[in-house]
């Protein structure tokens, strides 16, 4: 049975875990919502690298997973290279904004990228655009407030409240005439269906949302296929981990139940 750890600043990476479980059924999973380090999108690069180094060390020490998915665009862009250098024997998969497929699909020659403040500014995104979208216009839009909404308020929000949160961002991108919207923050996948519903009301089928969750899941499956399964495991684990001290915000228990994970515990 394969064992895979998933790491995000909070609950944003849960859709990536869900996609991976569909492609790789039966794997043992440890999902770390780094609520003590939340949010990653406003951290300096050096600070975030230190946080990630600590979290990965603790995950490997306790669970010895076969692979790790950094289910966060900001963490992947800023910390993936240093983590791989520190753990050369350990498969670490990052999440990459889906610039390439969006650039290939656009009909208008304009795509929008919704991301955290750090992701929008990071040179990694600029290089990704230069490599895969140099001949089109890319509108980069920081949506940091939407991260906090998803983390803290999404679970008990109404469809109307969620539409109110996404509307300013989507309206801005539509004014720029984009026809593909890249969700370059994993938290935004929780409101992807809300975005699609809003788009269906005002933009018909001309504007599509693009993300990387299935690409990451397929890449994980490829990497695990080349690994030896962890022989010692006799039953599937589905742990939900936090980095703060208990008592935990009750919201996290709801998130864990929603995605079929155990009750929250401290890493």
Number of structural domains (the chain) is 2
**Do 21 and 40 fall into the same domain?**
yes
Could you tell me if 86 and 146 lie in one domain?
no
Q: DSSP letter for 173, please.
A: H
Q: What is the pLDDT of residue 1?
A: 79
Given the residues 52, 185, 189, 242, the one annotated as active site: 185
Q: Is 72 a catalytic residue?
A: yes
Supply the range of the domain harboring residue 105: 99-210
Query: Are 106 and 196 within one domain?
Result: yes
Give me the pLDDT at residue 237, please.
Answer: 83
CA distances from 6 to 21, 24, 32, 138, 239 (A): 12, 14, 6, 29, 10
Asked if residues 105 and 180 have their Cβ atoms less than 8 Å apart, the reply is: yes
Q: Which of 188, 210, 232 is the last residue before a domain boundary?
A: 210
Of 173, 192, 210, which one is at a domain's C-terminal end?
210
Q: What is the pLDDT of residue 84?
A: 97
Q: Model's pTM, two decimal places?
A: 0.93
Residues 219 and 116 in one domain: no
The reported pLDDT for the residue numbered 141 is: 97
108 & 30 share domain: no
Q: Is the domain of 189 the same as that of 110?
A: yes
Cα distances (angstroms) measured from residue 80 to each of 33, 156, 254:
17, 33, 29
pLDDT for residue 138: 97
Tokens encoding 33: 């919502």
Q: Looking at the structure, do residues 181 and 164 belong to the same domain, yes or no?
A: yes
Do residues 103 and 205 share a domain? yes
Per-residue pLDDT, 229: 58
181 and 252 assigned to the same domain: no
Are 257 and 222 in a shared domain?
yes
CA-based nearest residue to 142, from 172, 119, 174, 175: 119
Domain closes at, from 210, 238, 257: 210
Looking up residue 120, the CATH number of its domain turns out to be 3.40.50.1860
Residues of the chain with pLDDT under 70: 204, 228-236
In the chain, count H helices and then E strands. Answer: 11, 10
The pLDDT of residue 228 is: 66
Contacts of 185 (CB under 8 A, 6+ apart): 12, 41, 72, 73, 74, 114, 115, 116, 119, 143, 146, 147
Residues 6+ apart with CB under 8 A from 242: 32, 33, 34, 35, 36, 248, 252, 264, 265, 266, 267
205 and 104 in a common domain = yes
227 is catalytic: no
29 and 75 fall within a common domain: yes
C-alpha to C-alpha distance for 47 and 169, rounded to whole angstroms: 28
Residues 48, 51, 72, 220: which is the catalytic one?
72
Is residue 247 reached through a cis peptide bond, with omega within 30 degrees of 0 on the bond before it? yes
Q: What is the pLDDT of residue 125?
A: 92
The helix or strand, by DSSP H or E, that contains position 83, with its residue range, turns out to be helix 73-86
């Amino acid at each position: 049975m394969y064992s895979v750890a998933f790491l995000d600043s909070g609950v944003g990476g849960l859709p990536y875990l869900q996609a991976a479980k569909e492609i790789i059924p039966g794997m043992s999973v440890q999902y770390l919502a780094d609520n003590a380090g939340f949010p990653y999108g406003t951290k300096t690069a050096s600070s975030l690298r230190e946080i990630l180094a600590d979290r990965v060390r603790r995950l490997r020490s306790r669970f010895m997973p076969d692979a790790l998915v950094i289910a966060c665009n900001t963490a992947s862009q800023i910390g993936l290279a240093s983590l791989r250098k520190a753990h050369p024997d350990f498969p670490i998969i990052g999440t990459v904004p889906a610039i390439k497929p969006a650039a290939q699909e656009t009909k208008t020659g304009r795509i929008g990228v919704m991301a955290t403040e750090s992701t929008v500014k990071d040179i990694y995104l600029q290089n990704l655009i230069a490599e895969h979208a140099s001949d089109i216009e890319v509108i980069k839009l920081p949506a940091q407030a939407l991260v906090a909404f998803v983390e803290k308020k999404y679970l008990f929000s109404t469809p109307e409240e969620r539409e109110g949160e996404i509307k300013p961002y989507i309206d801005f991108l539509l004014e720029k005439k984009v026809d593909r919207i890249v969700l370059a923050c994993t938290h935004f996948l929780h409101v992807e269906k809300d975005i699609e519903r809003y788009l269906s009301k005002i933009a018909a089928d001309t504007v599509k949302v693009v993300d990387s969750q299935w690409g990451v899941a397929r890449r994980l499956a490829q990497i695990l296929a080349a690994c030896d399964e962890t022989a010692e495991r006799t039953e599937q684990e589905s742990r939900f981990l936090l980095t703060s001290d208990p008592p935990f915000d009750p919201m996290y228990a709801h998130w864990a139940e929603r995605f079929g994970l155990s009750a929250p515990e401290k890493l």
